[in-house]
Amino acid sequence: MTILDIRNLNIELETDNGPVRVLDRFNLQLAEGEIHTLVGESGSGKSLLAKAILGFINPRWKITADRLWWRDYDLLALNNAQRRLVTGRDMAMIFQDPSSHLDPNDKVGPQLCETIPSGELTGIYLKRRADRQTRAERLLHRVGIKDTKDVMESYPHELSEGLAQKVSIAMAIAHNPKLLIADEPTTAMEPSTRAQIYRLLAKLSAGQGMSILMITQDLTAVVPESQRISLIYCGQLMETGPTDDVMQAPLHPYTDAMLSMSLFNQDTPVKTRLPTLSGAIPTLQHMPIGCRLGPRCPYARRACVKQPELRKQQHQQFACHYPLREDSEHE
Amino acid sequence: MIRYTLRRLTLLIVTLWLLTVFLFSLNYFFPGDTLTNMTGIRASDSLSYQLAAEARGFDSSIFTQYLRFLGHFSSGDWGQSLTTQRDVFKQLLPLLGGTLELSVLAMLLAMVIGAPLGLYAARQQRGAMDRVVMGVSLSAYSVPVFWLAQLLILLFAVKLGWTPISGQLNPLFNIDVQTGSIILDILASDNPYKSAALADAINHLWLPVIVLAIMPGTMLMRITRNSMLEVLQQNYIRAARARGLSELRILFRHVLPNAMQPVVRQLGLMFSILMSNIIVTEVIFNWPGLGSWLVKSIYERDYPVLQGGLFAFATLILFVNVVVELFHAWRYPQVRKELYAEH
C-alpha cells in the first residue's frame, strides 16, 4: 500500500535573479515497510525533498504539486500546526553528522527521555518519570547499545559518531514512526560502523513495518535491503524502479554513468581514465532547459531540450527520450 | 574539571602575587618617604617610625623588606591612612560592603532586564521591536556613565525631586555600620524606625543602581540576542523540532541553556566594566564605597589607602572572573573538551 505519494512536486526558490526551480516535477511513491533509496549528487535537491515532506518549509519557497499525500492526508492542504501534528506523529528523520543534532549541553538520557511521547505514559509524575527511564533504556537496547547507563549519562561530545547516530535513531523511533527519513546517515563513518547502522535500519524496517527513505550520494552506499531506488539529478527524477532491476539493467544514461563510475574495482588496470560524465553540475542560476542532464549526456539529441515525460518499461520508470534499451513491445 | 580548577586557582594566586610585587614597588616610586608611603606613619613621629622601620626590615636588603611587607600585608596590617590615621584594612571592609551592594544589585538588574529583552528581540528578529530594542541598547551603551549619572540626577533629583541627590542614607537614622551594605545593616539593627530607614535607603539606592546597570544590561541584551539567533540556527534545534517537541519545551530546555553559554562567559568581563563604572558613580553619588574612597585617596595623596583600594579592586575583579570561568566550565562540559580534550 502506498503511504507516501508525491506527484509532480515543484519547489521554487525566490532568488535575486528570479525564481529558481530546484525540484522539477518530482515523483516518488513509497509503500508501507519499504526501504527506498534516493540517490543524487550534492545540490540535487534531495535534502530539500526531505524538508518538503517533513514540512520544514521556508516561507520563501514556493511548493506546488499535483499530489503530496501522506496516507489519508493531503499535506499541502493542512496548515502548519496540523501538518506538524501529522508529521511529528508519523515521521522521523535522522541526519548526517549526528552529534551536531544533539543538544551539546544536555546529557543523552534526558534528551532521549523527552522524545518519548507523554501520551503513552500513565500514573503519577514519579511513576511516569521512572517509566520514561526504562523505556529510554529499552530504546537504546533496540538500537544495539549495551551499556545503556553509561551512554545515558554521557554528553553528546563524549560519544563516537556511530554511537551518536544510534542514539539519534533511538530518538527517531521513540514514537514508532511510520516513515523514517535517513539523510546520508553514515557519511564520515568507518565502514564497519556504516554497515552496523544500515543493518540496524533494515532490521527496524522489517521488524515493525517502518518505511525508510534513505538518502545517499552514491550507488555504492545502496543497501541490499533496499527494495526500490530513485535517481535524481539537479532536481529532476531520472529513473526509478526496483533496486535490482535498476542496478542490473539501467535504462537512463545517467544511471548507467553513475553505475560505471561506481564499478571501479581491482580489475581496473593502472592509469585507466575513470569513466565520468563530461562537464560539471550546473549552478542553480544556469539550469539547462528541458532535460537538465542534456549538456552532459553522451546520448543527447535535439529532442532533449524538451523535458521528457516519465515513461514506464516493465517495472522501471525513467525520464529520457532515448533510453539505453527500447522495449518496443511494451511501449 | 579538577585540573581546570587547579589551573585557574594557580593563575589567581600567581596574579595576586604579582600584584603584591607591584604594590610593594609602588612605595619606592611614590614621592616622599618609602616607609611613610607603606605604613602611613610620618617620620616626625619618631618612636613608632623607628619601630616600624625595624619591623619592616628597613635595615636589611630589599628582598627582606619585600618578605616583611608580604607578612604584614597578609596578616591584615595594611598601614594607616595618612590623613585620618585610621587602620586601612579595618576601614576597607565596610566600604567593600557598600560597593558590593551596589554592584550586586546593578548586576541583578542588568540580568533581569537585559536577558529577557535580548530574548524578545531575537524572537522578533528584524521586526520593529527588535530594531527599537537594539537601537536603544546601542545608544544607551554609548553614553558615558559620568554624564548619564549627572543627567539622571538632574532629572530625577533636581527637577522631579523623587530621590535625594546623593548619599546612602539620611543621617537622622542612626544606623551602625557593620557590613557596609546599607540594607543588611538596617535589617540587622534594632532601630525603632527600621522600615522608614529601609524606605529611605532604597530611595537613595535606586538611581545609582540604574545608572550602573545600564552598561552591563545593554551588553547582555546584545549578547543574548545574538547568541539566541545563533542557537536557533543550530542543527540540534531543528532536530528537536523534527522530533515533534513543543516549541515551549525547545525554548526552555534547549535554546535558552545553550544561548546563555556566551552570556555566562562574558559575565566576568561585564563585571570588570561595572567595577570601573562604579568608581565614577560612587564619586558622583557620594556613595561610601571603595571607589569614592580610592578617588579621595588619590586626591589626598594618601598612599597606604591607595594601595589598599587598588588591591581590593583588583582582587575582587580577579576573583569574580575566576569564579565565572569555573562556573562556565562546570555548567558547559563541552567547553572542557575544547580546553583539554578530556571528558
CATH code 2.102.10.10 for B92-288? no
Tell me the pLDDT tens digit for each residue of B181-209: 888 888 888 878 888 888 888 888 899 99
The partner residue sitting opposite B332, judged by closest CB among A56, A105, A114, is: A105
- Could you count the other beta carbons within 10 Å of the beta carbon of residue A259? 16
The partner residue sitting opposite A101, judged by closest CB among B239, B245, B331, is: B239
Identify the top-confidence range among A28-32, A61-65, B164-168, B320-324.
Answer: B320-324
Positions in chain A short of pLDDT 70: 263-266, 327-331
Cβ(B270)–Cβ(B286) under 8 Å?
no
Task: Report which of residues B179 and B62 the model is more confident about.
Answer: B62
Alpha carbon A111 to its chain's center: 24
How high is the pLDDT of residue B343? 46
- Give the whole-angstrom CA distance, residue B24 versus residue B38: 8
Segments making up each domain of chain B, as ranges: 1-39+41-78+302-343, 92-288
Neighboring chain A residues of B238 at a CB cutoff of 8 Å: 56, 101
User: Which residue out of A56, A157, A180 would a mutagenesis test of the B interface target, given it has the greatest number of B Cβ atoms within 10 Å?
Assistant: A157
Tell me the pLDDT tens digit for each residue of B265-319: 888 888 999 999 999 999 999 888 899 999 999 998 888 899 889 999 999 999 9
How high is the pLDDT of residue B88? 87
- Give the whole-angstrom CA distance, residue A130 versus residue A90: 25
Q: DSSP for B26-80?
A: HHHHSSS-HHHHHH---TTSHHHHHHHHHHTTTTS-HHHHHHHHHHHHHTT---B
Q: Give, for A74, the enclosing helix (H) or strand (E).
A: strand A73-74
Task: Report which of residues B321 and A322 the model is more confident about.
Answer: B321
Query: Touching check for A171 and chain B: CB below 8 Å?
Result: yes
Sign of the Cα pseudo-torsion (B67, B73, B77, B79, in order): positive
pTM above 0.80, yes or no: no
User: How would residue B177 be classed by pLDDT, with cut points 50, 70 and 90?
Assistant: confident
Query: Touching check for B129 and chain A: CB below 8 Å?
Result: no
B244/A88 touch (CB, cutoff 8 Å), yes or no: yes
How high is the pLDDT of residue B341? 57
User: How would residue B22 be classed by pLDDT, with cut points 50, 70 and 90?
Assistant: very high
Cβ(A71)–Cβ(A3) under 8 Å?
yes
How far A97 CA lies from chain B's nearest CA (Å)?
9
Range B41-50 average pLDDT: 82
How far A323 CA lies from chain B's nearest CA (Å)?
39
Of A223, A183, A198, nearest in space to A54 by CA: A183
Query: Touching check for A84 and chain B: CB below 8 Å?
Result: yes
Q: Which residues of A191-225 are buried (b: 16+ CB within 10 A; e: fewer)?
A: eebbebbbebbbebbeeeebbbbbbbeebebbbeb
β-strand pairing of A18-31 with A2-15: antiparallel
Query: Touching check for A114 and chain B: CB below 8 Å?
Result: yes
Q: What is the ipTM of this complex?
A: 0.74
DSSP, collapsed to helix, strand or coil, labels residue A150 as: helix
A101/B253 touch (CB, cutoff 8 Å), yes or no: no
Tell me, letter by letter, the H, E, C secondary structure of A155-179. CHHHCCHHHHHHHHHHHHCCCCCCE
A89/B334 touch (CB, cutoff 8 Å), yes or no: no
Cell of B5: 580548577
What domains can you pick out in chain A, each with its CATH number? 2-226 (3.40.50.300), 251-264+276-330 (no CATH)
∠A109-A112-A113 over CA atoms, to 5°?
Answer: 85
How high is the pLDDT of residue A263? 64
How far A104 CA lies from chain B's nearest CA (Å)?
7
Tell me the pLDDT tens digit for each residue of B78-91: 888 888 888 888 88
- Could you count the other beta carbons within 10 Å of the beta carbon of residue B25? 12
How high is the pLDDT of residue A327? 67
Neighboring chain A residues of B244 at a CB cutoff of 8 Å: 84, 87-89, 115, 117, 175
CB pairs under 8 A between A and B: 64
Cβ(A88)–Cβ(B246) under 8 Å?
no
